Amino acid sequence: MFKFAPYVVKGLWRNRSRTLLTVSGSAVALFVFCFVGSVQEGLARLTEDQQAQRTLIVFQENRFCPASSKLPEDYARTVGKISGVRDVVPIKVFTNNCRASLDVVVFNGMPPDQLRSVRDLTLLAGNWGDFESRTDAAIVGRAVAQRRGIDVGERFTIGEVTVHVVGLFRSTVPAEENYIYTHLDFLQRARGKNEVGTITQLEVLLDESADPDRLATQIDAQLKSGPVATSTRSKGVFQRDTLADLAELIGFAHWLGYACVGLVLALVATTTVMAVQDRIKEHAVLQTLGLRPGRIFRLVIAESVLQSLAGGLLGIGAGLALLAWGGFAVGAEGVTIAFKPSLELALTGALVSAVVGVLAGVIPGWQAARTEIVSALRAA
């Protein structure tokens, strides 16, 4: 089959305008496919992550926006005493925008020592010493830093909160890279307020043997007698509930991904049909020379796959590059979904391109293979 590669490639180059338009169309469609896939992967990571299943979030009952959840900080002590709880982290959350946004900035105030122990963060610039020694210090996730152009040593202000950036970090959890971490008490005193003793939520880390559902029920029951009623869920469920509206939209968006696949299919099939119809006589000549109908079919399929795959790889490459460098995320109510490139996404995109190429070539390939030699030679 490879012996005929020059014929296939030169055949595509013969109608380069048509080929380039088809490749461009496929590229755009796979670019969108990649983005949609990345958003869905981001949501799945947040809700299905194993760690997220074994961590509980204690939030104020019937509250959704972090600005409206106010828990007493000493709830942490109460929860910490419950059997099966490994650690409890009090967190103050501040976000510049509670609604869905593509550029939401979320501050998480945590005790510095606990930040290092419960988050898997690697500093790309700056150092932990500076973070621990300055009360207004902040370390910034690289996605936010990319998006906002933030660097170490700068002061960053948003929504009346001004921090001194002492570090940039990456994380094994992509969504984390969209957060800015500060000291807990700094965020409690920020914006001229004094909310010392009040936090937004508790993050509860469980022992290996603990049952998350049973413990969540137990925590809510134990805190029921306190001044603020709570709602405790696994981190995955909490994030899914918080992003419920967005999740619905993202779920709908997967149809957009399918539409892109359909678009490529229609585009490549149309181009291939046109290419075959232009070359009825040529295929008859090839058959006269001794090419089997099956080989003609495979040559047409190869043309179709090449166009689809070339466009697909371009689109996937551009999409993944943009996802890698753009630091995109969508967030709502202090929870963000990171759009990250992934090998799985690249492979899925390439596979989709190849399969679509094959499917798009089936009918034109069959037409070419069934060409009646004599009538085709006479016709042109």
Nearer to another protein, 6 or 192 (CB): 6
Can you state the angle between helices 343-369 and 244-278, rounded to 10 degrees?
30
Q: How far is the CB of 288 from another protein (least distance, A)?
A: 5
Binding site for another protein (CB under 8 A): 3-4, 6-7, 10-11, 13-14, 281-282, 285-294, 373-374, 377
Nearer to another protein, 116 or 281 (CB): 281
Q: Cα separation of 318 and 56, whole Å?
A: 38
Q: What is the DSSP letter of 119?
A: S
Nearer to another protein, 350 or 377 (CB): 377
Contact 95, 148 (CB under 8 A): no
323-324-325-326 Cα dihedral, nearest 10 degrees:
30
Residue identified by tokens 């009346």 is: 160
Please, what is the Cα angle at 283 between 277 and 287, to 5 degrees? Answer: 155
Take residue 354 and report the two structure tokens written for it: 């190849």
Q: How far is the CB of 291 from another protein (least distance, A)?
A: 6
Nearer to another protein, 259 or 285 (CB): 285
Q: How far is the CB of 372 from another protein (least distance, A)?
A: 9
Residue 17: CB atoms within 10 Å:
7
Nearest in space to 349 (alpha carbons), one of 29, 120, 15: 29
Q: How far is the CB of 365 from another protein (least distance, A)?
A: 15
Take residue 31 and report the two structure tokens written for it: 């670019």
Nearer to another protein, 158 or 285 (CB): 285
Nearer to another protein, 289 or 343 (CB): 289
Nearest in space to 348 (alpha carbons), one of 69, 103, 41: 41
Q: How far is the CB of 307 from another protein (least distance, A)?
A: 16
Q: How far is the CB of 22 from another protein (least distance, A)?
A: 17
Contact 182, 107 (CB under 8 A): yes
